[in-house]
């Protein structure tokens, strides 16, 4: 039996809590910030705010109290939006212990520091708790609703510690949720974060009424530019052609459940970003903030990212999606590269 705390009760956090609750004997706690989520699960065993219509097993205990959520746990799964990761871990610090395993499931990069989520956790735990956390990340093509509905899903867990990855693989795997192991933490985290920017671009293509040729080209060249950046940051190139890279990229660029793609589609149809975000009812499209961080990393490592640059211009400078696509198509000719 493992005691597992999932910190963050959005759609993905709720789905992961349901995954680990399927294993006999696991003690699973789900920490929720929103009172609406607590009330909804208490009332109907359903997260009506973020994952409506899905029954949450009674063995998943929901709480808004960090002390209650973290008491005696062995594994902490971090699933809050990237911009809240640092502050949340600072609030949790007094209850964190060296024996705990820290698993990040957030697909983002901290906007100001350009740190990956495991780097943020490592920094906060080291500063406030005085120990180096045992840490890893889980990522891959995984829409939360489909995971909760037990559609076959395959992801990867990355850690520099093989025993850490093996423990997560054992505790999270079941006939509906297959977990591979990977030692490239940088690549797995950056693949999961950067693909959201390309997914916004894919949505822009859809919103503009462009066809399959355009989206196929965008995915291919998007994979090339996020691979360039990930490798410059220390990732292994082969990671970007696996589950956390190409797999997650294809899903997020083409699937109707993708929030980032939906944001891009609305932008392509001419809706202003503020209106789009306000209509998401508390849900987060990580790619909006990751676009800033991606360009910051690209500048730091002197990496060219033309698709990301155009998405930033659309999101933050009010650039016309038509103009952005035209500029991408009229760039000087080049020899095709993979990264």
Q: How is 244-268 classified by DSSP, letter by letter?
A: IIIIHHHHHHH-TT-HHHHHHHHHH
Tens-digit pLDDT profile for residues 259-278: 999 999 999 999 999 899 88
- What pLDDT sits at residue 278? 86
- What pLDDT sits at residue 338? 64
Query: What's the per-residue H, E or C state across 97-147?
Result: CCCCEEEECCCCECCCCCCEHHHHHHHHHHHHHCCCCEEEEEECCCCHHHH
**Distance between CA atoms of residues 130 and 135, nearest Å:** 15
* 304 within domain boundaries: yes
Instruction: Kindly list the distances between the CA atom of residue 329 and the CA atoms of 9, 322, 324, in Å, as whole numbers in the listed order.
Output: 41, 11, 9
Question: Which tokens go with 117?
Answer: 């989520």
Residues 179, 239, single domain; the answer is: no
Q: Report the DSSP pairing between strands 3-7 and 75-78.
A: parallel
Q: What is the DSSP letter of 39?
A: H
Residues 242, 144, single domain; the answer is: no
**Distance between CA atoms of residues 300 and 308, nearest Å:** 15
* 337 within domain boundaries: no
Residues 309, 255, single domain; the answer is: yes
Residues 173, 43, single domain; the answer is: yes
* 325 within domain boundaries: yes
Query: Of 161, 183, 205, which residue sits at a domain end?
Result: 183
Query: Of 163, 183, 203, which residue sits at a domain end?
Result: 183
Query: 253 with 259: CB under 8 angstroms?
Result: no
Which of 120, 141, 130, 169 lies closest to 242, judged by CA?
A: 141
Residues 204, 315, single domain; the answer is: yes
Residue 127, C-beta contacts closer than 8 angstroms, at least 6 positions apart: none
* 313 within domain boundaries: yes
- What pLDDT sits at residue 71? 97
Query: 200 with 287: CB under 8 angstroms?
Result: yes
Residues 240, 308, single domain; the answer is: yes
Question: Which tokens go with 168?
Answer: 């997560």
- What pLDDT sits at residue 70? 98
Domain count along the chain: 2
Query: 257 with 145: CB under 8 angstroms?
Result: yes
Query: 101 with 167: CB under 8 angstroms?
Result: yes
Residues 18, 152, single domain; the answer is: yes
Domain extent, residue 70, equals 3-183
Query: 66 with 101: CB under 8 angstroms?
Result: no
Distance of CA 226 to the CA centre of its chain: 15
* 335 within domain boundaries: no
What CATH number is given to the structural domain containing 263? 1.10.1040.10
* 334 within domain boundaries: no
Residues 126, 256, single domain; the answer is: no
**Distance between CA atoms of residues 134 and 160, nearest Å:** 9
Residues 268, 142, single domain; the answer is: no
Collapse the DSSP code of 41 into the 3-class scheme (helix H, G, I; strand E, B; otherwise coil) and give the result. helix
pTM of the model: 0.96
The answer to whether 195 is a known catalytic residue is yes
Count Cβ atoms below 10 Å from residue 269 Cβ, excluding itself.
15
What CATH number is given to the structural domain containing 36? 3.40.50.720
Q: What is the DSSP letter of 243?
A: I
Largest CA distance in the chain: 60
- What pLDDT sits at residue 263? 95
Query: Of 123, 155, 183, which residue sits at a domain end?
Result: 183
Residues 247, 308, single domain; the answer is: yes
Residues 240, 167, single domain; the answer is: no
Residues 289, 315, single domain; the answer is: yes
**Distance between CA atoms of residues 204 and 314, nearest Å:** 10
Collapse the DSSP code of 236 into the 3-class scheme (helix H, G, I; strand E, B; otherwise coil) and give the result. coil
Active-site hit among 67, 195, 236, 300: 195
* 19 within domain boundaries: yes
For the chain, list residues with pLDDT below 50: none
Residue 220, C-beta contacts closer than 8 angstroms, at least 6 positions apart: none
């Amino acid at each position: 039996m493992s005691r597992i705390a999932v910190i963050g009760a959005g759609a993905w956090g709720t789905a992961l809590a349901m995954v680990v609750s399927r294993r006999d004997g696991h003690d699973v706690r789900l920490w929720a910030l929103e009172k609406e989520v607590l009330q909804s699960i208490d009332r109907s065993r359903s997260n009506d705010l973020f994952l409506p219509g899905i029954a949450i097993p009674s063995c998943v205990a929901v709480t808004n109290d960090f002390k209650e959520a973290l008491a005696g746990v062995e594994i902490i799964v971090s699933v809050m939006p990237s911009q809240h990761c640092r502050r949340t871990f600072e609030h949790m610090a007094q209850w964190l212990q060296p024996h705990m395993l820290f698993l990040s499931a957030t697909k983002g990069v901290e906007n100001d520091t350009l740190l990956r989520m495991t780097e943020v956790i490592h920094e906060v735990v080291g500063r406030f708790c005085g120990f180096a956390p045992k840490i890893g990340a889980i990522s891959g093509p995984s829409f939360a609703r489909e995971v909760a509905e037990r559609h076959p899903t395959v992801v990867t867990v990355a850690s520099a510690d093989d025993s850490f990855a093996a423990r997560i693989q054992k505790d999270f795997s079941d006939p509906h949720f297959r977990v591979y192991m990977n030692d490239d933490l940088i690549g797995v985290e950056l693949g999961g974060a950067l693909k959201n920017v390309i997914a916004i671009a894919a949505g822009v293509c859809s919103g503009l009424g462009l066809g399959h040729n355009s989206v196929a080209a965008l995915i291919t060249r998007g994979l090339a530019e996020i691979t360039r950046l990930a490798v410059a940051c220390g990732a292994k190139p082969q990671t970007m052609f696996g589950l956390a890279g190409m797999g997650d990229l294809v899903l997020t660029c083409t699937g109707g459940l993708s929030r980032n793609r939906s944001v891009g589609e609305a932008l392509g149809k001419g809706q202003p970003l503020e209106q789009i975000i306000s209509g998401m009812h508390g849900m987060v499209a990580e790619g909006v903030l990751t676009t800033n961080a991606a360009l910051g990393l690209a500048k730091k490592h002197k990496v060219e990212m033309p698709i990301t640059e155009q998405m930033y211009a659309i999101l933050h400078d009010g650039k016309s999606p038509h103009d952005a696509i035209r500029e991408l198509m009229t760039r000087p000719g080049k020899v095709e590269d993979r990264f």
